[in-house]
Amino acid sequence: MPSLPVAVTVKRGLVRAAAGRQTRTVHDWSDRFTSKRDELAAHFNRSLGEDADGKPIRLDRKRKTVSTSVGDLPISPIMDPDFKEARRRYNQPKPKPQKTTAPNSGVKERLRKKLLQNPYGEYHNID
């Protein structure tokens, strides 16, 4: 039996979007995350300062230790750049309420709804 041709329909918008989109490789993304981790490690190193002997306190990301005058100590997850970057990766700003045209219209709207819900309340449209 001969094979029948199969028709595939694709929306034009999808084709345009796929054609214009830049492709990013995994390498590009890993470089971005590595640079973020390096920036966080540098920030932690700057903020650690010096120990009592005047030697700088350094953070070793690979061994997950902090070098101090006492010796190498394990770092806290709060100071770990890998943990910090993974925590911040999907953060999004909180949605803000939409501003209304009148400054007190939200109060009036709430009062109107409450009056409509109240069996003893009377609502008269004053607008």
Residue range 15-21: average pLDDT?
52
| Confidence at residue 96, expressed as pLDDT on a 0 to 100 scale | 81
In a domain, 79, yes or no: yes
pLDDT tens-place string over residues 59-68: 787 888 888 8
In a domain, 120, yes or no: no
pLDDT tens-place string over residues 93-111: 888 877 666 556 667 788 8
Domain enclosing residue 42, as ranges: 25-90
In a domain, 19, yes or no: no
pTM value is: 0.37
| Structural domains counted in the chain | 1
pLDDT tens-place string over residues 77-97: 877 777 877 777 777 788 887
65 with 74: CB under 8 angstroms?
yes
Which pLDDT band, with edges at 50, 70 and 90, does 44 fall under? confident
| Confidence at residue 29, expressed as pLDDT on a 0 to 100 scale | 53
